[in-house]
Structure 1
Amino acid sequence: MPSSAGQHTAVPTMRRRGFLKTSLGASAGVLAAPTFASWLAAADAKAATAPAAFVDDYKSNVLTNLTPETNAVVRVLGGMAEVWKTGAAWNTGTPLRPDVLRANMRYCACVTQARTEAQAKDAFVYDRQHQSYAMIGGLGPLAAPYRSGAKAVTSITSAPDTTPATTISDAVPAGAPAGSAIGAGSYDSELGKVAKLVDTVRGPFASGNPGKYAFQYPRPWRMNENSEVVDTGRTDALGFPVYDSEVVVVTQLLRQRNTSPTDDGGFPSGHTNAFHLAALAFAYAVPERFQELVTRAFELSHTRIMSGMHSTVDVIGGRIMATALAAATLADPANADLKAAARAQALAYFTQQTGTTPDTLFAYAHSDASDAYADRDANERALTPRLTYVLEREGRGKPFTVPKGAEVLLETRQPYLSADQRREVLRTTALPSGYVLLDGFEQWGRLNLFVAADGYGAFDTDVTVTLDAAAGGFGAADSWRNDIRGEGGLTKRGTGTLTLTGHNRYHGGTVVEAGVLVAGSANALGQGDVQVKGGTLRADKVLRVRGSYVQDGDTTLELPLRKNHGPALEVSRRVVLGRGSVLSLRLDAERPPVAGTTVPVIEASQLRGQFDRIELNSDKLRAVPVYTAEGLSVRLLKR
């Protein structure tokens, strides 16, 4: 199995014999003066020297390349050079933004001093356990069958109460089934392609070590509040130097610390990089758990701060580089066959193991109420502050162009969208500008993949989406949960189903041409006109249309009926009903109206035309329409 990208690899002998000093001297001069921002601006101004897109240059991330000109990862992480000036040695750097780095160290001190013993033990487990194995927990109800099918095992399942007598590494435990492997699992298994995809994404160009050597920002337990390294001259019981620092390392990890500070930089966090790389690889193969895997990556990354081993800027840097590296690896044509095979293998395996179909696997994957990530809103609440941690937003309006190739990260999650459409999803759900570490080269740090999985954040131009019921899975049906803004509109095509659940404010109107469009909230259809030209418009609750509503041809409007409730459809302007239109009414399961009552259905400023047919899902009641110039009610009578 390939070595873990999240663990420190051996430093070449030439690096220990002076190569490192020479390389760091060169990189420090570039990263500190001029600043990275000015270097990048100068490079952009010269087409001949403009840096290559990250996805085209990611293989430059090797230990012999430590400058932004030569290393794509150093470029992506260049925002750090705006807050930290790399020194000539590991302990001589200085803050360029003392406010940012002071907040960084204060946060680390507070978190490590306030953690519980349970949190300390979790931090130990996720420090020592193979990061790819740790990410399997994000699969929820699919985790156990994954471990079995991939023959994935670990020897790190709990933490000791005190400091272990030796260093500890993950390994195949005694008694494990033949062919078992740590990490994502064995290539010789029913999920071998998935395991190989995870390892490929975490491949030889995904190490955080070049970034560590380039920036030389120390671990938090070696620094005081001002990011200064002050050796007290004392050593602890294990022989490690004691530095002036308020950060408290987890007791169980004291012996696991690196004894060579020169080779042990904090920025970027290698474990964080590994967690996110594994998460995005798993999410590509098992998009049914996309948001949960992303959430787990953020959660496990936070344990790096909780443990005292990394700071907030380290963790942010690890996430940024992982996002770019995962996209680059998945977009690399050399991996096209592998990623397709991994997705197909995962889908076939999980549907067979769970007795589901591609259309029902998502529901099964979210069927366990005890799943740690069962609450989508709770996941977002936990994740959102960790996108920026201590960073304060400064400045406004820096335009965002989605980095080349980033759209591949949503390729299996939103297979019904084109590459350009997925780029728009990423652009319209991205974080705002103004966060110093996130606004670096290509702004990979601004991507918010959790929110992007819920569809567009804005329709800045008209959007046409086509879902095919025969495609299965997300290609057949999906939900967009974001609050969609913008001047554009939406056209729904294809035989599949799209559900909108946000409080939407887009102005360009909504057109249903085929299939099913579900309005999952009162304001799901924005603030424009609504036209149903084909297929079905279904409202799960009361639906408000801010413009006009027009329905014509072989079309259906599905609305709920509830006892003692207002109209199911409220239209601000006029309603026009053409020939062939059908109204399908569903009795509310909790509070159904009863025979003899008249229930309002549509309220508008003006109503023209009538439905060809009105259906009611009851074998005991029938609905008799009562039309007026301003709406429609139905009188419920016994059959």
Structure 2
Amino acid sequence: MPASSLAAVLVPALVPALVAVTIVPVASAAPQDLVGQYLPATLPAVQHPGAPVPQPFELDDYVGYISDISSYPDGIYYSVVEGFNDLRDNHPEIIDQNLETVVRYNTTATPERIARAQADARVDDGDLLANVSDAFGAELGEYLRTAIAENRLPKTRALLDSGYLSRAQGLAASTLIEKEIFDNPRPFEVAPDRIVRHNDGDEDFYDLGGSASFPSGHTSQATLVTTLLATVLPELAPQLAARGSEAGESRVVMGVHYPLDVIGGRMTGTAAAADRWNDPKMRDALTQAGDEIRAELEWRTGMPLAQAVAEQDAAGLGYLSAADAVTVYAAQGTYGFGSVYDTDRAMNVPQGAPELLVNRFPELSWAQRAAVIAATALPSGSPLDRQVEDAGGSWQRVNLAAAYAAEVSVAADGTLTVNGVAV
């Protein structure tokens, strides 16, 4: 059955499943816990003299978003990662490497890395913002977590940190339909004797209800959230991009996803973030959330955010240097897979991607920001670098951490230079 026809069948079929997923915890959790998990923006904020006064969204701010439906065919992100079909059909060596790589990550992970992966696994239905707050650095991350605990970020949490009800996420970005279409079994099902189950006694991380592996929903969710945060907080953009990508790697460590799953999840999550940011009403809401975080952190530090980030970095308390964030993000864009397709193909920049750099490079035009993305892109030819004419651009090659960290200048004659190279 064609993907478009299958999507038409699956969308209405999955809506009851989504409702069930949301309702399942209700029977076992206290009402106040559920409010804190799914509706944190409704909780009263702790007020401080001289501090910004939190202002939740109005009811009208929760409706009317065109980006609730993907801009891609059939309103989902299947076409973004459709190249997975060719890998399964024609490249068994890549599928074999896919399994060997997850086995290696899963069986050689340190106890510290396993604990981090378990933490990343727990936050699909709430508290994602606190979990990725380490990307803000030791001091700023602690301030952010305190603000979250005091319910002082209602707009941010309504959009990005309300579990299944996060307004900037939604069905289109969930990957549930894509998983049903691809129907790829998970590594711990394919090779149960080779995958170590890293459970901790409190939760069975492998009880996934029979859901398929490709693409990774956890990765897509973490990527969407951290990409949107990076877009509104460019001072921390490379670190946030890397942290979202590392959440994807955690799924490989757990043995519940293959590397190609998390590469695919990063692709759908970034595409979904671009859809959200290119929606004028959602951009306004996200900008308000970014302003909310910025005002809170500047009040707590008593200085502009850029200065606070610089001082934190100088004290050795940052999460990653920009250079290290770029290295991490690039490595997790390919996971060591060799070239499968043409290696000399020009970068096809997805139409929605350049606007993700608008706050980092407000003086540049859309075309110039597209040139920055092209200049910092990963090499062509990797698995999932779909190169057919109707692909709409290669999200696999988009290297947001490198684009955010790029040194860019424009000469008097209009020549654009990226990292010392004229483009």
- TM-score with structure 1 setting the length: 0.50
Structure 1 position 425 matched with structure 2 position 392? no
* Secondary structure at 2:316 match in 1: coil
Map of 1:485 onto structure 2: 421
- Assess, with a 3 A threshold, how the Cα gap between structure 1 residues 276 and 485 changes in structure 2: closer, same or farther: same
Map of 1:272 onto structure 2: 219
Q: Deviations over 1:240-264 (max 9, x none)?
A: xxx4x52222133882323642xx1
- Deviation of 1:194 after TM superposition, in Å, equals 2.7
Q: Please list, as runs of the form range in 1=range in 2, the aligned pairs for 1:155-194 lying within 5 A after superposition.
A: 180=151, 189=152, 191-194=153-156
- Assess, with a 3 A threshold, how the Cα gap between structure 1 residues 346 and 383 changes in structure 2: closer, same or farther: same
Map of 2:122 onto structure 1: 128
Map of 1:293 onto structure 2: 240
The 2-side partners of 1:286 and 1:196 are apart by 17
Asked whether the 8 Å contact 1:217–1:265 carries over to 2, the reply is yes
The 2-side partners of 1:96 and 1:71 are apart by 28
- Report which of the two has the higher share of helix: 2
Q: Deviations over 1:197-240 (max 9, x none)?
A: 4233323421111111111111111114xxxxxxxxxxxxxxxx
Equivalent of 1:138 in 128, 135, 138: 135
The 2-side partners of 1:14 and 1:205 are apart by 14
Equivalent of 1:387 in 315, 330, 333: 333
- Deviation of 1:59 after TM superposition, in Å, equals 4.3
- Deviation of 1:295 after TM superposition, in Å, equals 1.4
Q: Deviations over 1:560-619 (max 9, x none)?
A: xxxxxxxxxxxxxxxxxxxxxxxxxxxxxxxxxxxxxxxxxxxxxxxxxxxxxxxxxxxx
- Assess, with a 3 A threshold, how the Cα gap between structure 1 residues 214 and 365 changes in structure 2: closer, same or farther: farther
Q: Which amino acid counterpart does residue 82 of structure 1 have in structure 2?
A: D
- Assess, with a 3 A threshold, how the Cα gap between structure 1 residues 461 and 355 changes in structure 2: closer, same or farther: closer
- Assess, with a 3 A threshold, how the Cα gap between structure 1 residues 297 and 411 changes in structure 2: closer, same or farther: same
The 1-side partners of 2:66 and 2:397 are apart by 20
Instruction: Select between 441-450 and 125-134 the one with higher mean Cα deviation.
Output: 125-134
Structure 1 position 251 matched with structure 2 position 248? no
Q: Please list, as runs of the form range in 1=range in 2, the aligned pairs for 1:169-568 lying within 5 A after superposition.
A: 180=151, 189=152, 191-198=153-160, 199-224=166-191, 243=192, 245-252=193-200, 255-258=204-207, 260-261=209-210, 264-357=211-304, 360-373=307-320, 375-393=321-339, 394-439=341-386, 441=391, 442-455=393-406, 463=414, 483-486=419-422
Asked whether the 8 Å contact 1:108–1:308 carries over to 2, the reply is yes
The 2-side partners of 1:336 and 1:382 are apart by 28
- Assess, with a 3 A threshold, how the Cα gap between structure 1 residues 336 and 430 changes in structure 2: closer, same or farther: same
The 2-side partners of 1:421 and 1:396 are apart by 24
- TM-score with structure 2 setting the length: 0.74
Map of 1:237 onto structure 2: none
Asked whether the 8 Å contact 1:287–1:412 carries over to 2, the reply is yes
Asked whether the 8 Å contact 2:325–2:401 carries over to 1, the reply is no
Q: Deviations over 1:458-481 (max 9, x none)?
A: 98995368xxxxxxxxxxxxxx9x
Map of 2:145 onto structure 1: 147
- Deviation of 1:377 after TM superposition, in Å, equals 3.0
- Report which of the two has the higher share of strand: 1
Q: Please list, as runs of the form range in 1=range in 2, the aligned pairs for 1:36-185 lying within 5 A after superposition.
A: 59-60=68-69, 69-84=73-88, 95-129=89-123, 130-140=127-137, 141-151=139-149, 180=151
Return 5+ residue gaps in structure 2 as ranges.
1-12, 19-64, 161-165
Asked whether the 8 Å contact 1:400–1:443 carries over to 2, the reply is yes
Q: Which has the larger radius of gyration?
A: 1
The 1-side partners of 2:237 and 2:306 are apart by 16
The 1-side partners of 2:257 and 2:322 are apart by 27
The 1-side partners of 2:348 and 2:325 are apart by 27
Return 5+ residue gaps in structure 1 as ranges.
1-9, 16-55, 63-67, 85-94, 152-176, 181-188, 225-242, 466-479, 489-639
The 1-side partners of 2:329 and 2:17 are apart by 41
Q: Please list, as runs of the form range in 1=range in 2, the aligned pairs for 1:15-34 lying within 5 A after superposition.
A: none
Asked whether the 8 Å contact 1:351–1:357 carries over to 2, the reply is yes
- Assess, with a 3 A threshold, how the Cα gap between structure 1 residues 11 and 197 changes in structure 2: closer, same or farther: closer
- Assess, with a 3 A threshold, how the Cα gap between structure 1 residues 223 and 458 changes in structure 2: closer, same or farther: farther
Q: Percent same amino acid among aligned pairs?
A: 25
The 2-side partners of 1:458 and 1:360 are apart by 22
Q: Deviations over 1:279-298 (max 9, x none)?
A: 11221232211111111112
Q: Deviations over 1:84-131 (max 9, x none)?
A: 2xxxxxxxxxx5311101001011111212122232222222211343
The 2-side partners of 1:124 and 1:14 are apart by 25
- Deviation of 1:370 after TM superposition, in Å, equals 3.4
Asked whether the 8 Å contact 1:132–1:274 carries over to 2, the reply is no
- Assess, with a 3 A threshold, how the Cα gap between structure 1 residues 462 and 69 changes in structure 2: closer, same or farther: same
Aligned residues: 350
Asked whether the 8 Å contact 1:433–1:439 carries over to 2, the reply is no
